[in-house]
Amino acid sequence: MTIPRLSFIAMLISAGLSLPVLAAAEDSTARHPITHEDVWLMKRVGAPLPSPDGKWAVFSVTDPAYDSKEQWSDLWIKSLADDTPARRLTFSKGGEGSLNWSPDSRYLVFVAKRDGDEAGQIYRLDLQTGGEAQRLTTLTLGARAPRYSPDGKQLLFVSDIYPGNSSEDDIKQSAKEHKDRKYSARAYETFPPRYFDKWLDDKKVRLFVMDAEPAAKPRDLLGGTRLVTLPGFGGAQGDEGQSLEALWAPDGKTVLFIASTNRDELARASGYTQIYSMPVAGGEPQQLTRDRHSYHSLKFGNEGKSLFALTEAEQEGKVYDVTRLISFAWPFTSTTPKVLTATLDRSISRYVLPAGSNRVVFSYEHAGLEQLHSMNLQGGDLRDEKSLPTGSINSLATGGKAMVGVWESSIHPPEVYAFGASAPKRLTSFNTERAAGIDWQAPEHFWFKASDGRMIHNMLVKPANFDPAKKYPLFAVIHGGAANMWRDQFVLRWNYHLLAQPGYVVLLTDYKGSTGYGEEFARAIQGDPLKGPADEINEAVDEAIKKYSYIDGSRLAAGGASYGGHLANWLQATSTRYKAIVSHAGEMDLIMQWGTSDSIHGREVNSGGPVWGDQPVWREQSPVLQAGNHAKGTGFTAPILISVGELDYRVPANNALMNYALQHRLNVPAKLLVFPDENHWILKGENSRYFYQEVHGWLAKYLK
């Protein structure tokens, strides 16, 4: 279908024209080039959660520091009825998460790890009487994701047990036995054994329910059910273990949750999650959906008569499935949902159901932006909602008729906004003063037609004190994913303006495989994981040189992380046009990456078959196997900066070590940075500062 047209202002942005009203008001002479301190010390504003009565919004704010011991994260509250400034609710370094309001808007529950807690526990704050938050749980393995029942009397939450446990005493004893073991070996019979930066353990995820009062006894809802005995039972894997997304049915007597029953097949099949329901009083869960879809983001709407969800319908042999918004009648009368966004060729990122409205509001990625749209509850009358014409929505929630979220752009760090019938209204100002002092410009957008016929979207970021009469080196920065998109947003790990700051023009290209341009575009890397995307990046560089006279085509660099690192390695292996390459968490050998990373099935699908088959992609698009290009003078000439986190299990460090070994074997200038305490990303302040210094130093050495 045709994507809803952009507003006139948004079209100006897409065409590369500036919007003075969205730019920092000060003249550039009064502002300074961005520094790492500007990036790292910006307040980090979390997703706001409005109260059910629509009067308040609560959100976290992290006050960052280079020394993690000095970093604070607390809850703040903002009135949605007037313009009084937000005020701080908690004063604790540890931080709070998993917020949930009681239905009467009096209590706020959250998860925190406070004095005496060995694991995160649920706390309750009384906003009517004030005072300290009360600890509601004291579980050995902690608690997470609390949800109030519709009558406010009970809490549903997620916790863990060890195999064979049936009580908290059992869990406590098992935890002691694990702690007292004389050996340090890990043993596995399931796949994968590790995830991102953690070796997995033998804990099992469970749903619990308890009275919403201190010292209440939690009850394991799933204990003793046949469902949890299935070898493939589990939840979605996350940083804190597996999760079982759950919510209360409107009658308060039934709980719905999302679970998988094929986790034991993850080495040879895609994992998928289904919707289950069970009585709060106990019993065997009932499976409501039976297909190879993955469901998530459940919400009740339409006065409890409809159940909404997001879903991806697995298409056998495909690498990417668009995320659709669907609805079921409630109570269930059919397991076949109504697909509201069936004709919208975009993945829905998030959605809300404002009270008193017959519309669903949602956002999706498109051409570097993420903005608000809506349709009626039957899936018709698609409209653009009133949102800011550039930048990205990165959270959205409703309470009563209030709709709040976080909006940001590359030159406007995140703040809380109110959305709705009127124009978006900024509710907080945690970062506005610091941002106003920086000399930066909004990205310039441009498109071009690639040789394969696809229209390719790009953003161009200019350095401070930019002078169009001068010549600037170009740094093509490549996003990871590949199912991802460069967004007009403020980022920590590859901040566009900080990369450009020494005097580079930064080019951000959404190559094929990116999201935000439809299902076929994202699937186009299947069977062509590196060569095709890299060709489009090279063509984007050519287009930028041709289009912008201030770019010096003789001084080019390229770099990226994760999939962007894969592509950076491929560009170094197959091209001689770049004077310098930066590769973080980049693979060198598709076969080695298949066998050592924490996911393998998707790699087989993308390459057309298993590594022992006859698919040539495994060999023809592994950067290390292109080493013969060095002798031919067609590759492996650019000096390369290689970096890796030693705790990275998504793209394990052996890729970086192989890359570094190959560069020395070929006598190509190379430098290896190993971060022993980092994972797939560089998340610690001083490590981040050092990384940017090394990147800037490497580019300066070979471009200037």
Which residues are within 8 A (CB) of 432 and not within 5 positions of it... i.e. 6 or more apart? 415, 426
Q: Which helix (H) or strand (E) holds 58?
A: strand 56-63
Report yes or no: 641 and 671 within 8 Å, Cβ to Cβ.
Answer: yes
The DSSP bridge partners found for residue 556 are 474
Per cent of the chain over pLDDT 70 is: 96
pLDDT tens for each residue of 380-418: 999 999 888 899 999 999 999 999 999 999 999 999 999
Mean pLDDT of the chain: 93
Closest alpha carbon to 125 in 80, 74, 82: 74
User: Does pLDDT of 152 surpass 80?
Assistant: yes
Q: What DSSP character marks residue 256?
A: E
pLDDT tens for each residue of 38-60: 999 999 999 999 999 999 999 99
User: Does pLDDT of 581 surpass 80?
Assistant: yes
- Residue count (the chain): 704
User: Does pLDDT of 23 surpass 60?
Assistant: no
Section 238-259 average pLDDT: 93
pLDDT band for 16, please (50, 70, 90 cuts). Answer: very low
pLDDT of residue 24: 41
pLDDT tens for each residue of 635-692: 999 999 999 999 999 999 999 999 999 999 999 999 999 999 999 999 999 999 999 9
The dihedrals phi and psi of 180, each to the nearest 5 degrees, come to -90, 0
pLDDT of residue 679: 95
CB atoms within 10 A of CB 693: 11
- With b meaning 16 or more CB within 10 Å and e meaning fewer, what string describes 260-296? bbbbbbbeeebbbbbbbbbebeeeebeeebeeebbbe
pLDDT tens for each residue of 419-455: 988 899 999 999 999 999 999 999 999 999 999 999 9
Which residue type does 539 have? E
The DSSP bridge partners found for residue 432 are none
Tell me, letter by letter, the H, E, C secondary structure of 558-609. EEEECHHHHHHHHHHHHCCCCCEEEEECCCCCHHHHHHHCCCCHHHHHHHCC
The DSSP bridge partners found for residue 584 are 561, 643
User: Does pLDDT of 12 surpass 80?
Assistant: no
User: Does pLDDT of 1 surpass 50?
Assistant: no
Rounded Cα–Cα distance for residues 224 and 652 (Å): 39
Rounded Cα–Cα distance for residues 281 and 149 (Å): 13
Section 219-232 average pLDDT: 95
If DSSP codes are grouped into helix, strand and coil, which group holds residue 201?
Answer: coil
Longest pairwise C-alpha distance within the chain: 76
Section 281-291 average pLDDT: 94
Q: Which residue is associated with the tokens 């040879």?
A: 268
